[in-house]
Structure 1
């Protein structure tokens, strides 16, 4: 692996020299050479240590084979003195102590035992570059090329080849030597290198193959330079020479089973026109030359499963063709480029099939993935993209191309199935998948002849499928990345044509392909997550959470693209009866129901989570649409009646109830939370409030009392139902009673208290032409409803929410006192013509006098209840509250009534308060203190 870094470092030094000058390049190059020398120094040290170990082992074998004379008399074993290692018989002078330490002591004569053979030194094993396990893997092929044979020679050959190319270009620009001499010298050098490599093929295989590849590449470069740069040979002769050289390189590579030779030779052949190019030339000659090279690669592919060679040819062919197209393509070049594109596509399709057939028929390749997923699925992506660029100005041409490709893949898959059956099942499945994908593309491309990212996404899903089937992570990662890029490219440049037919156009079908491909990928990744674990194969050691995260990501990507496609169509549809928010909410509900239904059919439990999120999004969209005209009663009623919002509300409620009823499983994925139940209840309560308020405000607008009551009727009914279910521990309160109390029941009590404060402040409770009757008008009936709800809530939740009980009780008593004051002011307003709060009620003498009497009566009642009815623990608190209110009355008499009220009202106030205080002093004296809670001693 270090040689790869060194070679990359050379390129970095080159770039630094080009950008920052030769000094920077020399600095970088010197650092790299120093690193290389240090590595070589360490390697020499290891080799010397191994040599010393080898010599010590040989010396040990020699000592053990020396005969030992029989001793005259051996001392008893118990009294035999220890012999120092340095005096042991048979130990030679100068023997290293390490070697002497391992020499066994002499043994008595007995049956001869064969001395143990010395263990050979551990040496680095040579990489078998002919093995299918090497040639069928891109990464292993590259590593084997750098680690096998002499890596320095191989890197040096690449640098030499680049130097020759630049030398030819420099000589052409400066005319240093006669053209014939330069060409002949370079060609002779290539022949010498190839011949020397052939001579050394038996003794030094790696070295010889490297030299042969370098020679072949230099000859490629020489022939092309002689033809294109100097015009020394005619086109026919140059073409014949290139054909002959390609044939020689292919024969040499196949005869010696040498993948590095093939890669070097063909890489040089493809790079020859690049380095020797002048920018002026015939694209026909270039593509014809590439066609010759690819024919040679195809011939080799029919005999060897060399994935790296296939990739080299594919990469150089289509990348150079793409660069040429970006720079020089003109519509008049179509007839001279389309045949080459078709020919190269068919060649590499043939190579894909031959690769699989080679691995399937090789016994030593069992267990290896026999489908080159990158080439199989990358070929249509690249070729179809180039085809889209060629025919972009021709109507229906791309749709016809897609149909032709579909027919090619389907027919080829059927032919291979009939010929090979199960033997090539995975390849046949891939071909059929591509055929179906291109068949699906025919319609959107016919309706809108533009190349989009839909095909990339579909083929990316195919790459993921093949990669996971073969146990390869990098193709799966490449497929996921390709789909992400396709999504970004498609949606960044996507503009829906205004004239497109809703729900029958290329934009929607492309979005469906994008989203469907992401869903298929998510499904495959989910299956892989199930297989992940300790017993998984070596390639599938990714932790289960990583697979699950990828699965969730692709599921979200697919869902968003499907929603975007359908949402765009719903927005463009001319449906005045359905508001845009209604359409979007219904779309989200449809997808939520689809996910919930599919999770059982497909055994895909993770679909339940997006179903719940989609329902929440639909409810949010519905509420947001309502807020736009929240304060306009007529517009709200118009939305419900004329824009089908009532249908949206019923659909959201029905879907929510159905989902939550089904979500009662044991785990979080299959069990709804209390927050979700609370959200459904609040959705029903908010829409119920707005709907009834809009109806009363529009239909009986003159009855202000009904309009003020309307917002709390239906929500209180819903909260009462939830409260009833909580009391009986029935669904949904059987599992979420605490959550419902905290999110629905108690908050709604707070809302009722707020309603009490507002309605008593602003509502006059008029019912014209009906007369006003206190306590039985709609506003007061609403207070009765709130009181009943509060009492019921206290009975059901008493003791379970102790920390909220006392504050709520205080707020309820304050609200009741405020209601009494408002009831008095409303009654005076309707019976005596006094103003309401906003119109100067506190400046009216009759209102002030009435309030004084009311406060005094209230204080009397409180103090009377404290002495007669209240529990001893609470009696003093209630009496003190009444006393405080009575003190407020006294202060009001002297600071307000005395100076601001008229004579009659002032008299009535003082007399009434005085009499009531006398009554209080008689019937409600100070109650006894609360009993002590301290235990008796």
Structure 2
């Protein structure tokens, strides 16, 4: 018996070895045949071209006579004649061998040859030699220790080289402008870095000296930029100037020195703006000045710094108040209505915000400053409005004057009351401006609503006094802001200003949702928050859909879609808050979602288009998710095994998939036939979900407790086979995509093979008491079981394919048997020391014998069968 086993093993090992040897021999024969064919073709071509006289010029007897050999000595010159042109030899009758292209090595040699023979060869070779020489030199001086130069000499050498580059760049400014500008900027950058290294890294420069040198370099760079009309140089200089205090900082927190330096820099920006309309430079100065100032204010400002900080804030405000005027003045007369809006509106907004932060405890003084700014902008608007070329800038100043005058009101009144008044007033101004077709009231109305929101946020300190949910001033204020936004959106839509109306609508929706969400968070316990927000989403979806039914608008349909989609994250929140969706007040919340969501979808039947289809798509995905999580939690509470929880999770999706196949009319409601176009995509997504669940179930042990585990009838495998049957029913229907229908047989065959393999491993786990981990794969019982099952499947496919004349099925069986053979050689041979391993080899041998008896050869093609071959 042992000898038989050894012989079987040797035979199994010899088969692949013999195959490898045969493949090597075949490859060698093919190579030799190819060489002989090419040699034969080359010989034929040489023989054809060696004939110097055409056959048609020879006498008949010479044409058949052999060609005499050439004489040993050349003939006299008079005998030599120019031969007629020789026609190319005819191609062989058979297939012409095509020579293979050059290999990787040949291509590399050719590329190297081209590099050395084409182009500027002396420069290439010279650079190679130079690099080699420099490398050798550096190595030598390094070995000799000659690179240990004092740091002072190194920095001095770098400085001299940078100055030389700067001078050379200045000399080349008229001949090679771009090259010269890049050289100058790079040289000054190197000088700045050298100063930084000398100061910060090596402590060789006094801070004051390093600061002065940096200012001088920045000023020089700005002068070079203005003289050469290079905006790039100016931007580089100003950027370096603003960064210099940061990299040269000593940590002394001397804000007076910092802002004094920035005042000098902004004076430079102002001076450049007098000569050049470089908007990028102006914006760079604005961003750095107020950005660094704001950062310092947040981190280090104290109340006692007001006296030393206020003058700088006023000075910076004055700079960037006048720079837009200079920018407009430098424009051509036809373009002076071009306004630098970023500075015109950004300067007062940022400056007044900083001022408000500094005077937060003095609201009356801040109100007086707001009135002063309103007067200043009114004077500028009055001075510029008479000039037609500055009319847009004058209108911008007028808007700012009205805004600051209005802003002075809430600084002394209750923030929430002011916000409500401003919101309603703003909506009225928007409506009036649209009626009169005047943009100033419209802009004023928008600014008033923004001011109302600002006042509402400022009044946050008073929110803590609210005592009841919704019935409080905070909720009413947010509601008024939302109503004002919606009213303005309605006015804009009536006037044909759809894009502006969209902004107002989103603004109102923000305050509607934000205010109500804030109320829920403030007054409700944590466990009820997701339930209340789910009701809010349902109510919002319903109200918006009803408005859409009367006044169709795409943004309303999209809002309904978003509110229904919000059910997914709220569902996860509920799961976290009370372990399942219907816990706590979740049952009532989902009832509200069911009723109001259905009505909302019904209201979207007309004019919603794709948004309505997507909304119903998500709607039908939401409910199986809710039911799956609920059933899974109930199974866990009942103490059921893992297999039951898998079935509970998949059951709603299986039911929905079955309904899409058998009762699509039910699923199409409430949209009806408008949802039919989404059927293929919806079914594809459903079966993708089921497919993922099907694969996931295969990697789980699938405990069926309290029932014993039985193959096929345990809950996890019932789910898997139900999903497989539904997928097969769908693939054989007209609703499945054409590529899937064409490949349904191999898809279902692979799925069935995976399912049977999983069933085998689960049987080994539950009946053989083998742990469901890596030990299962190492188990002899598992490997033997797989060998037997796969062999039986291969034999069935092999014999069935042969008997029914299906060559593809026969090939599948043959491939599967080959896989099992490889498994025997690579894996199962490790288990030949026990009975199970031996049984796997014997079983495979017997099954192969059966196949050899019933179906030794593949089925013949149909054409051959018909011809009787």
* Structure 1 match to 2:827: 896
Change (3 A) 1:752 1:730: closer
* Structure 1 match to 2:797: 862
Distance 2:268 2:835 in 1: 110
Distance 2:843 2:406 in 1: 101
Residue 773 in 1 paired to residue 739 in 2? Answer: no
Q: Residues 640 and 691 of structure 1 are in contact (CA less than 8 Å); yes or no, is this contact kept in structure 2?
A: yes
Change (3 A) 1:491 1:813: farther
Residue 823 in 1 paired to residue 771 in 2? Answer: no
* Structure 2 match to 1:464: 430
Residue 714 in 1 paired to residue 652 in 2? Answer: yes
Q: How does 1:334-345 map to 2 (within 5 A)?
A: none
718-727 or 904-913: which moved more? 718-727
* 2:474 equivalent among 507, 512, 521: 507
* Structure 1 match to 2:44: none
* Structure 1 match to 2:780: 845
Q: Deviation per CA, 1:52-71, whole angstroms, max 9, x where unpaired?
A: xxxxxxxxxxxxxxxxxxxx
Distance 1:615 1:21 in 2: 50
SS in 2 for 1:890: helix
* Structure 2: gaps of 5 or more residues: 1-262, 277-354, 372-397
Residue 878 in 1 paired to residue 803 in 2? Answer: no
Q: Residues 797 and 813 of structure 2 are in contact (CA less than 8 Å); yes or no, is this contact kept in structure 1?
A: yes
Distance 2:403 2:587 in 1: 50
SS in 2 for 1:892: helix
Q: Residues 653 and 690 of structure 2 are in contact (CA less than 8 Å); yes or no, is this contact kept in structure 1?
A: no
Change (3 A) 1:657 1:932: farther
**Shift in Å, 1:383:** 8.0
Distance 1:749 1:827 in 2: 27
Distance 1:819 1:28 in 2: 77
* Structure 2 match to 1:783: 720
SS in 1 for 2:566: helix
Q: Residues 431 and 491 of structure 2 are in contact (CA less than 8 Å); yes or no, is this contact kept in structure 1?
A: yes
**Shift in Å, 1:331:** 9.2
Residue 644 in 1 paired to residue 585 in 2? Answer: yes
* Structure 1 match to 2:81: none
Change (3 A) 1:474 1:750: same
SS in 1 for 2:471: coil
Distance 2:724 2:781 in 1: 29
* Structure 2 match to 1:550: 500
Change (3 A) 1:552 1:826: same
* Structure 1: gaps of 5 or more residues: 1-17, 32-321, 342-374, 393-444, 530-546, 630-634
Distance 2:763 2:834 in 1: 23
Residue 759 in 1 paired to residue 759 in 2? Answer: no
* 1:473 equivalent among 419, 439, 455: 439
Q: Deviation per CA, 1:610-659, whole angstroms, max 9, x where unpaired?
A: 54244235324324525x74xxxxx76x3434333344344434444333
Distance 1:892 1:328 in 2: 83
Q: Residues 433 and 441 of structure 2 are in contact (CA less than 8 Å); yes or no, is this contact kept in structure 1?
A: yes
**Shift in Å, 1:487:** 2.5
Distance 2:672 2:268 in 1: 79
TM-score (norm 1): 0.47
Q: Deviation per CA, 1:839-858, whole angstroms, max 9, x where unpaired?
A: 51233222222221111111
Distance 1:908 1:841 in 2: 18
Residue 920 in 1 paired to residue 847 in 2? Answer: no
Distance 1:591 1:615 in 2: 7
Distance 1:761 1:508 in 2: 52
Q: Deviation per CA, 1:383-405, whole angstroms, max 9, x where unpaired?
A: 8954x655x5xxxxxxxxxxxxx
**Shift in Å, 1:837:** 3.8
Distance 2:690 2:273 in 1: 77
Residue 582 in 1 paired to residue 517 in 2? Answer: no
Q: Residues 649 and 687 of structure 1 are in contact (CA less than 8 Å); yes or no, is this contact kept in structure 2?
A: no
Q: Deviation per CA, 1:62-109, whole angstroms, max 9, x where unpaired?
A: xxxxxxxxxxxxxxxxxxxxxxxxxxxxxxxxxxxxxxxxxxxxxxxx
Distance 2:572 2:451 in 1: 33
Q: Residues 548 and 603 of structure 2 are in contact (CA less than 8 Å); yes or no, is this contact kept in structure 1?
A: no
Distance 2:568 2:645 in 1: 26
**Shift in Å, 1:528:** 0.7
724-733 or 478-487: which moved more? 724-733
Distance 2:272 2:756 in 1: 93
Change (3 A) 1:844 1:653: same
SS in 2 for 1:865: helix
SS in 2 for 1:640: coil
Distance 1:729 1:687 in 2: 17
Distance 1:735 1:824 in 2: 46
Q: Deviation per CA, 1:802-833, whole angstroms, max 9, x where unpaired?
A: 223456654443232222122123223333x3
**Shift in Å, 1:746:** 1.9
**Shift in Å, 1:575:** 4.1
Q: Deviation per CA, 1:717-739, whole angstroms, max 9, x where unpaired?
A: 12222233448995567344453
Name the count of aligned residue pairs: 493
Distance 1:881 1:30 in 2: 83
Q: Deviation per CA, 1:270-322, whole angstroms, max 9, x where unpaired?
A: xxxxxxxxxxxxxxxxxxxxxxxxxxxxxxxxxxxxxxxxxxxxxxxxxxxx9
Residue 484 in 1 paired to residue 441 in 2? Answer: no
* Structure 2 match to 1:619: 567
Change (3 A) 1:863 1:489: farther
Distance 1:328 1:852 in 2: 84
* Structure 1 match to 2:838: 907
Change (3 A) 1:656 1:466: same
Q: Deviation per CA, 1:524-566, whole angstroms, max 9, x where unpaired?
A: 111111xxxxxxxxxxxxxxxxx10011110111111111111
Q: Residues 801 and 810 of structure 2 are in contact (CA less than 8 Å); yes or no, is this contact kept in structure 1?
A: yes
Distance 1:881 1:663 in 2: 52
Change (3 A) 1:825 1:565: same
Distance 1:856 1:22 in 2: 89
Q: Residues 801 and 859 of structure 2 are in contact (CA less than 8 Å); yes or no, is this contact kept in structure 1?
A: no
Change (3 A) 1:510 1:557: same
Distance 2:763 2:452 in 1: 71
* 1:696 equivalent among 618, 635, 638: 635
Distance 2:501 2:570 in 1: 30
**Shift in Å, 1:330:** 10
**Shift in Å, 1:20:** 11
**Shift in Å, 1:885:** 1.0
Change (3 A) 1:19 1:327: farther
Change (3 A) 1:575 1:932: farther
* 1:660 equivalent among 601, 605, 614: 601
Change (3 A) 1:902 1:721: same
Aligned CA-pair RMSD: 4.4
Distance 1:683 1:776 in 2: 29
Distance 1:26 1:716 in 2: 75
Q: Residues 855 and 889 of structure 1 are in contact (CA less than 8 Å); yes or no, is this contact kept in structure 2?
A: yes
Distance 2:272 2:760 in 1: 96
Distance 2:272 2:787 in 1: 98
* 1:573 equivalent among 495, 520, 523: 523
**Shift in Å, 1:775:** 1.6
Change (3 A) 1:459 1:924: same
Distance 1:327 1:591 in 2: 38
TM-score (norm 2): 0.50
**Shift in Å, 1:29:** 11
Change (3 A) 1:495 1:811: farther
Q: Residues 828 and 837 of structure 2 are in contact (CA less than 8 Å); yes or no, is this contact kept in structure 1?
A: yes
SS in 1 for 2:651: helix
* Structure 2 match to 1:686: 625
**Shift in Å, 1:681:** 2.1
Distance 2:729 2:268 in 1: 89
